[in-house]
A and B are shown apart, each in its own frame.
Chain A
Amino acid sequence: MQKITIITFYTLVILLFSSCEKDFEELAENPNNPEEVAPDLLMVNMIRSTANNMVNDAFSIGNVAAQYATEIREPNVDRYIWNSFGLWNDGYSTLRDVNNLYTIAGEREHDNYQGVALIWKTLIFSRLTDAYGDLPFSEALKGKSESVYFPSYDQQQAVYQGMIADLEEANNLLSVTGGSVSSDILYGGDIMKWKKFGNSLRLRLLLRQSNQVDPSAAMQALLADAERYPIFQSNEDQAIVDYTDSPNYFPLAGYRSGHFLDRRLSSTFADHLNTLQDPRVKVFAQPTVASREAAGSGTGELEWQGVPNGETDENLGSDIDRQVSQFGSIYYIDQQVAAPAEGLIMTYAEVAFTLAEAAQRGWINADAEEHYNNGIRASMEYYQGFSEETLLPDELYFQQEGVAFDEAQALELIGLQKWIALFFTDLQGWYEWRRTGLPELAPSIVNNNENRIPVRFNYPTDQQVTNQENYTEAVQRQGRDDINTPVWWDQP
Chain B
Amino acid sequence: MFDLLPARVKKKNTFLLTLFMFYLSTLLTVQAQSRALTGTVADTKGEAIPGVNVLVKGTTQGTITDIDGNYQLSVPETAKTLLFSFVGYKSIEREINGLSTIDVSMEVDATQLGEVVVTALGVERETKALGYAVQEVKGENLVQARETNIVNSLAGRVAGVNVTNGSGSIGGSSRIVIRGETSLTGDNQPLFVVDGIPITNSINGSSQSGQDIDYGNAASAINPDDIATISVLKGPNAAALYGSRAANGVILITTKSGKGTQGIGVSVNSTLTLESPLKLPDFQNEYGQGRGGVYNIGDGGRSWGPPLDGRPMAVPVNTEWPPAEGETVDWVPHPDNYQEFFETGKTLNNNISISGSNDQGNFRLSYTNLDQTGIVPNTDQTRNNVTLNAGYKLTDKLRANVSANYITTVSDNRPVMNYGNESIVYTWIWEGRQVRTDKMRDYWVKGQEGLQPFTYNYQFNDNPYYTVYENLNGLDRSRLIGNVMLTYQLSDAFSVMLRSGTDLLNERRDSRRTPGSSAYSFGMYRQDNNTFKERNSDFLLTYEKQVNPDIAIKISAGGNQMKQVREELSARANELNIPGIYNLGNSRVPLENIQYDSEYRINSLYAFGQFAFKEMIYLDLTARNDWSSTLPPDNNSYFYPSVSLSTILTDLLNVPSSSPLSFAKLRAGWAQVGNDTDPYHLRNVYYYGTPWDGNATVYESSTIANADLVPELINTFELGTDLRFLNNRVGLDLTYYDIRSKNQILSIPIDLTSAYTSRSLNAGEIRNHGWEVMLSASPLANPKGLTWDINVNWSSNRSKVLELAEGIETYELPSRYVSVQARVGEQMGDMYGIGFQRDPEGNIIHSNGIPQFTDELIKVGNYNPDWMAGIYNTLRFKGLSLGVLFDIRKGGDIYSRFLVRGNEAGQLVESLPGREDGYVGEGVMLTEEGNYVPNDVNVTAERYWGSGYFNPEQATFDASYVKLRELKLGYTLPNRLVSNTPFRHINFSLVGRNLFLWSDVPHIDPDTNALNGGTILPGIEDMSLPSVRSYGFNLGFTL
Q: Is A41 an interface residue (CB 8 A)?
A: yes
Question: In whole angstroms, what is the CA distance A437 to B396 when docked?
Answer: 97
Question: Chain B contact residues (Cβ within 8 angstroms of A): what range?
Answer: 35 or more
Q: State which of A141, A185, A258, A465 has its C-beta within 8 Å of the C-beta of B755.
A: A141
Q: Is A448 an interface residue (CB 8 A)?
A: yes
Q: Tell whether, in the assembled complex, residue B754 and residue A4 are in contact, meaning their CB atoms are under 8 Å apart.
A: no
Q: Tell whether, in the assembled complex, residue B682 and residue A28 are in contact, meaning their CB atoms are under 8 Å apart.
A: yes
Task: Name the B residues within 8 Å of A477 (CB-CB).
Answer: none
Q: State which of B298, B680, B698, B857 has its C-beta within 8 Å of the C-beta of A45.
A: B698
Q: Is A161 an interface residue (CB 8 A)?
A: no
Q: Is A35 an interface residue (CB 8 A)?
A: yes
Q: Tell whether, in the assembled complex, residue A45 and residue B753 are in contact, meaning their CB atoms are under 8 Å apart.
A: no
Task: Name the A residues within 8 Å of B856 (CB-CB).
Answer: 464
Q: Which of B581-635 contact A (CB under 8 A)?
A: 588-590, 595-601, 627, 629-630, 632-633
Q: Is A116 an interface residue (CB 8 A)?
A: no
Given known pairs A257-B518, A466-B751, the reply for A48 and B812 (CB within 8 Å) is no
Nearest Cβ distance between residue B689 and chain A, in whole angstroms? Answer: 4
Q: Tell whether, in the assembled complex, residue B518 and residue A81 are in contact, meaning their CB atoms are under 8 Å apart.
A: no
Question: In whole angstroms, what is the CA distance A48 to B689 when docked?
Answer: 10
Q: Tell whether, in the assembled complex, residue B488 and residue A150 are in contact, meaning their CB atoms are under 8 Å apart.
A: no
Q: Tell whether, in the assembled complex, residue A317 and residue B291 are in contact, meaning their CB atoms are under 8 Å apart.
A: yes
Task: Name the A residues within 8 Å of B855 (CB-CB).
Answer: 481
Q: Is A297 an interface residue (CB 8 A)?
A: no
Q: Is B750 an interface residue (CB 8 A)?
A: yes
Task: Name the A residues within 8 Å of B500 (CB-CB).
Answer: 12, 15-16
Task: Name the B residues within 8 Å of A92 (CB-CB).
Answer: 752-753, 755
Q: Tell whether, in the assembled complex, residue B754 and residue A148 are in contact, meaning their CB atoms are under 8 Å apart.
A: yes
Please name the residue on chain A nearest to B684 by beta carbon.
Answer: A35
Please name the residue on chain A nearest to B628 by beta carbon.
Answer: A24
Task: Name the B residues within 8 Å of A27 (CB-CB).
Answer: 599-601, 629, 679
Q: Which of A476-491 contact B (CB under 8 A)?
A: 481
Q: Is A275 an interface residue (CB 8 A)?
A: no
Q: Is B486 an interface residue (CB 8 A)?
A: yes
Q: Is A308 an interface residue (CB 8 A)?
A: no
Q: State which of B600, B755, B809, B821 has its C-beta within 8 Å of the C-beta of A144.
A: B755
Q: State which of A24, A185, A468 has its C-beta within 8 Å of the C-beta of B627.
A: A24
Given known pairs A12-B500, A317-B291, the reply for A30 and B685 (CB within 8 Å) is yes
Please name the residue on chain A nearest to B685 by beta carbon.
Answer: A33
Chain A 18-56 interface mask (CB, 8 Å, partner B; 1/0): 000110110111111111010011111100100000000
Question: In whole angstroms, what is the CA distance A446 to B689 when docked?
Answer: 42
Q: Tell whether, in the assembled complex, residue B751 and residue A257 are in contact, meaning their CB atoms are under 8 Å apart.
A: no
Task: Name the A residues within 8 Å of B636 (CB-CB).
Answer: 24
Q: Tell whether, in the assembled complex, residue B697 and residue A30 are in contact, meaning their CB atoms are under 8 Å apart.
A: no
Q: Which of A309-333 contact B (CB under 8 A)?
A: 312-318, 320-321
Q: Tell whether, in the assembled complex, residue B685 and residue A466 are in contact, meaning their CB atoms are under 8 Å apart.
A: no
Q: Tell whether, in the assembled complex, residue B940 and residue A313 are in contact, meaning their CB atoms are under 8 Å apart.
A: yes
Q: Is B702 an interface residue (CB 8 A)?
A: yes
Please name the residue on chain A nearest to B209 by beta carbon.
Answer: A254
Question: In whole angstroms, what is the CA distance A79 to B939 when docked?
Answer: 14
Please name the residue on chain A nearest to B810 by beta carbon.
Answer: A465
Question: In whole angstroms, what is the CA distance A34 to B750 when docked?
Answer: 24
Task: Name the B residues within 8 Å of A8 (CB-CB).
Answer: 394, 398, 400, 486
Q: Is B498 an interface residue (CB 8 A)?
A: yes
Nearest Cβ distance between residue A126 and chain B, in whole angstroms? Answer: 15
Q: Is A450 an interface residue (CB 8 A)?
A: yes
Task: Name the B residues within 8 Å of A492 (CB-CB).
Answer: none
Q: Tell whether, in the assembled complex, residue A256 and residue B751 are in contact, meaning their CB atoms are under 8 Å apart.
A: no
Q: Is B696 an interface residue (CB 8 A)?
A: yes
Please name the residue on chain B nearest to A149 by beta carbon.
Answer: B750
Q: Is A244 an interface residue (CB 8 A)?
A: yes
Question: In whole angstroms, what is the CA distance A256 to B484 when docked?
Answer: 55
Q: Is A93 an interface residue (CB 8 A)?
A: yes
Q: Tell whether, in the assembled complex, residue B702 and residue A45 are in contact, meaning their CB atoms are under 8 Å apart.
A: no
Q: Which of B695-711 contact A (CB under 8 A)?
A: 695-700, 702, 704
Task: Name the A residues within 8 Å of B300 (CB-CB).
Answer: 73-74, 258
Chain B 464-495 interface mask (CB, 8 Å, partner A; 1/0): 00000000000000000000101010000000
Please name the residue on chain B nearest to A97 by beta carbon.
Answer: B699
Q: Is A335 an interface residue (CB 8 A)?
A: yes
Nearest Cβ distance between residue A113 and chain B, in whole angstroms? Answer: 14
Q: Tell whether, in the assembled complex, residue B755 and residue A16 are in contact, meaning their CB atoms are under 8 Å apart.
A: no
Q: Tell whether, in the assembled complex, residue B947 and residue A37 are in contact, meaning their CB atoms are under 8 Å apart.
A: no
Given known pairs A28-B633, A185-B695, A247-B574, the reply for A312 and B294 (CB within 8 Å) is no
Given known pairs A27-B629, A32-B597, A448-B848, the reply for A73 and B298 (CB within 8 Å) is yes
Q: Is B749 an interface residue (CB 8 A)?
A: yes
Q: State which of A136, A247, A450 has its C-beta within 8 Å of the C-beta of B847.
A: A450
Q: Tell whether, in the assembled complex, residue B290 and residue A256 are in contact, meaning their CB atoms are under 8 Å apart.
A: no
Question: In whole angstroms, what is the CA distance A42 to B484 when docked?
Answer: 51
Q: Tell whether, in the assembled complex, residue A318 and residue B756 are in contact, meaning their CB atoms are under 8 Å apart.
A: no
Q: Tell whether, in the assembled complex, residue B629 and residue A24 are in contact, meaning their CB atoms are under 8 Å apart.
A: yes
Question: In whole angstroms, what is the CA distance A27 to B603 when docked?
Answer: 13
Please name the residue on chain B nearest to A446 by beta carbon.
Answer: B943
Q: Is A334 an interface residue (CB 8 A)?
A: yes
Q: Which of A28, A41, A144, A448 has the most CB of B within 10 A?
A: A28
Q: Which of A215-273 contact B (CB under 8 A)?
A: 244, 246-247, 249, 254, 256-259, 261-262
Q: Which of B293-329 contact A (CB under 8 A)?
A: 293-300, 304
Nearest Cβ distance between residue A14 and chain B, in whole angstroms? Answer: 11
Question: In whole angstroms, what is the CA distance A244 to B695 when docked?
Answer: 13
Question: In whole angstroms, what is the CA distance A33 to B689 when docked?
Answer: 12
Q: Is B292 an interface residue (CB 8 A)?
A: yes
Task: Name the A residues within 8 Å of B857 (CB-CB).
Answer: 461, 464-465
Task: Name the A residues within 8 Å of B682 (CB-CB).
Answer: 28
Question: In whole angstroms, what is the CA distance A142 to B756 when docked?
Answer: 9
Q: Tell whether, in the assembled complex, residue B686 and residue A41 are in contact, meaning their CB atoms are under 8 Å apart.
A: yes
Question: In whole angstroms, what is the CA distance A470 to B807 when docked?
Answer: 13
Q: Is A463 an interface residue (CB 8 A)?
A: yes
Q: Is B537 an interface residue (CB 8 A)?
A: yes
Task: Name the A residues within 8 Å of B940 (CB-CB).
Answer: 313
Nearest Cβ distance between residue A399 and chain B, in whole angstroms? Answer: 41
Please name the residue on chain A nearest to B948 by beta carbon.
Answer: A448
Question: In whole angstroms, what is the CA distance A183 to B693 when docked?
Answer: 9
Task: Name the A residues within 8 Å of B819 (CB-CB).
Answer: 465
Q: State which of A37, A79, A256, A313 has its C-beta within 8 Å of the C-beta of B292.
A: A313
Given known pairs A9-B488, A24-B601, A33-B686, the reply for A317 and B292 (CB within 8 Å) is yes
Nearest Cβ distance between residue B17 and chain A, in whole angstroms? Answer: 30
Q: Tell whether, in the assembled complex, residue A318 and residue B290 are in contact, meaning their CB atoms are under 8 Å apart.
A: yes
Nearest Cβ distance between residue B940 and chain A, in whole angstroms? Answer: 7
Q: Tell whether, in the assembled complex, residue A313 and residue B847 are in contact, meaning their CB atoms are under 8 Å apart.
A: no
Given known pairs A143-B755, A247-B588, A450-B848, the reply for A100 and B292 (CB within 8 Å) is no
Q: Tell whether, in the assembled complex, residue A5 and residue B292 are in contact, meaning their CB atoms are under 8 Å apart.
A: no
Q: Tell whether, in the assembled complex, residue B697 and residue A183 are in contact, meaning their CB atoms are under 8 Å apart.
A: yes
Task: Name the A residues within 8 Å of B296 (CB-CB).
Answer: 316-318, 320
Q: Is A140 an interface residue (CB 8 A)?
A: yes
Nearest Cβ distance between residue B704 and chain A, in whole angstroms? Answer: 5
Nearest Cβ distance between residue A10 and chain B, in whole angstroms? Answer: 11
Question: In whole angstroms, what is the CA distance A119 to B597 when docked?
Answer: 37
Q: List 17 A-B contacts (CB under 8 A).
A: A9-B486, A12-B484, A12-B500, A28-B682, A33-B687, A44-B692, A73-B298, A88-B752, A135-B753, A144-B755, A151-B754, A185-B693, A249-B692, A256-B460, A257-B459, A335-B521, A446-B943
Identify the B interface with A (CB < 8 A).
Answer: 290-300, 304, 394-398, 400, 421, 457-460, 484, 486, 488, 498, 500, 515, 518-519, 521, 537, 539, 561, 574-575, 588-590, 595-601, 627, 629-630, 632-633, 636, 679-680, 682-689, 691-693, 695-700, 702, 704, 749-756, 759, 807, 809-810, 812, 819, 821, 847-848, 850, 855-857, 940, 942-943, 947-948
Beyond A17-B537, A258-B518, A481-B855: 15 further Cβ-contacts under 8 Å?
A4-B395, A24-B633, A43-B697, A92-B752, A96-B700, A96-B755, A143-B750, A143-B756, A185-B695, A256-B519, A316-B294, A318-B297, A448-B848, A461-B857, A470-B751
- What are the 9 A-B residue pairs with the smallest beta carbon separation, nearest first? A313-B292, A258-B459, A143-B754, A317-B294, A44-B697, A258-B460, A33-B685, A247-B589, A149-B750
